[in-house]
């Protein structure tokens, strides 16, 4: 039985009683991020389970992560960790009264190098898969919970027009967080003419990882794997908004466009999708990201 207010043991007890791997033999810390701590649990069967614990956070962040991973997992394409449970620590006997947790499949990341071209193909197949969410299947864009992009909120909800969604809940929201009048003015100009970049392009909702950079990409037994998402249903091309720090190769893009052909205007829209993440990084960290925002907005608004 878990000791009073001992979340690490409480999670181990849940694993032992709720999964078919036997009781937990030991747990090990994998370190921590800015807001959560990570652990592995080794069970009697030899199977490992992965968990995160966050103190001082409500369950919203882990709920967004869990539902997002489930949405990608349902496409049966890339290797995605399976979610076992998430919630408030207060729900677990002995878990304490503050904080939240998420428990998922432990994946041996880095095992067997995955082909870049196959990664591109599998990501495209994930984008091409029929959405498991009924709202997205009906043509709506967004997600049924808000989540986060880095340390900032990422508002979702549902809208029936992609350009309106991206203008209001992506670019517009990030600009509302900015304190710089020049960026706001340039951003408003771009948003006013945003439809121009989507003329003749059919946009269908697809499940997006939403924060796809090198730190969230790995391999498992030679299969490409992704994790730590900021999932929503949107335009497939929006997935490349973090390509500036993802290291996608020519083989990757060849594999991707083999399944999802490149649409006219792809490169310009890629800059728009990068701008969202530049703005987010500027709002979080400042520094050189300001100049990335300024130069990208200058290029996109030239001639408008």
d(CA 159, CA 272): 19
Mark 138-171 as b/e (b = at least 16 C-beta within 10 Å): eebbbbbbbbbbeeeebebbbbeebbebbbbbbb
| CA–CA dist 209, 72 (Å, integer) | 8
Would you say 21 and 15 are in contact if contact means Cβ atoms under 8 Å apart?
yes
Q: How far apart are the first and last CA of the chain?
A: 66
**Alpha-carbon span 183 to 41, nearest angstrom:** 47
Token pair for residue 157? 């909800």
Q: What is the DSSP string of 102-146?
A: EEEE---TTBSPPPHHHHHHHHHHHHHSPPSSHHHHTT-EEESS-
Of 160, 211, 228, 251, the catalytic one is 211
Q: Which two tokens mark 102?
A: 């998420």
Beta-sheet strands, E only, within the chain: 24-32, 37-43, 48-54, 83-88, 100-105, 141-143, 147-149, 152-154, 157-159, 206-208, 217-220, 223-226, 232-234
160 is catalytic: no
User: Taking Cα atoms as reference points, which of 86, 126, 120 lies closest to residue 209?
Assistant: 126
CA 203 – CA 161 distance, rounded (Å) = 9
Considering only CA atoms, give the Rg of the chain: 20
Q: Which residues are catalytic?
A: 211
């Amino acid at each position: 039985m878990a000791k009073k207010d001992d979340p690490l043991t409480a999670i181990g007890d849940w694993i032992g009683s709720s999964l078919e791997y036997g009781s937990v033999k030991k747990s090990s810390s994998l370190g921590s991020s800015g807001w959560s701590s990570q652990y592995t649990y080794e069970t009697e069967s030899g199977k490992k389970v992965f968990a995160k614990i966050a103190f001082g956070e409500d369950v919203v962040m882990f709920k967004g992560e869990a539902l997002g991973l489930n949405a990608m997992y349902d496409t049966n394409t890339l290797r995605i960790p399976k979610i076992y449970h998430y919630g408030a620590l207060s729900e677990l006997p002995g878990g304490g009264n503050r904080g939240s947790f998420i428990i998922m499949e432990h994946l041996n990341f880095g095992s067997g190098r995955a082909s870049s071209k196959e990664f591109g193909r599998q990501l495209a197949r994930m984008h091409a898969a029929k959405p498991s969410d009924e709202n997205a299947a009906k043509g709506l864009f967004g997600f049924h919970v808000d989540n986060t992009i880095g340390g900032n909120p990422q508002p979702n909800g549902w809208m029936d027009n992609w350009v309106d969604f991206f203008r209001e809940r992506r670019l517009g929201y990030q600009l509302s967080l900015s304190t710089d009048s020049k960026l706001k003015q340039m951003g408003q100009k771009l948003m006013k003419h945003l439809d121009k970049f989507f003329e003749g392009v059919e946009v269908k909702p697809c499940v997006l990882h939403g924060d796809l950079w090198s730190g969230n990409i790995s391999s498992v037994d030679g299969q490409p794997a992704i994790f730590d998402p900021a999932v929503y249903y949107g335009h497939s091309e929006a997935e490349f908004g973090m390509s500036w720090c993802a290291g996608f190769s020519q083989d990757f893009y060849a594999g991707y466009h083999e399944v999802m052909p490149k649409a006219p205007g792809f490169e310009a829209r890629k800059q728009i999708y990068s701008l969202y993440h530049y703005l987010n990084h500027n709002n979080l960290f400042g520094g050189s990201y300001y100049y990335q925002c300024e130069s990208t907005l200058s290029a996109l608004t030239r001639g408008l």
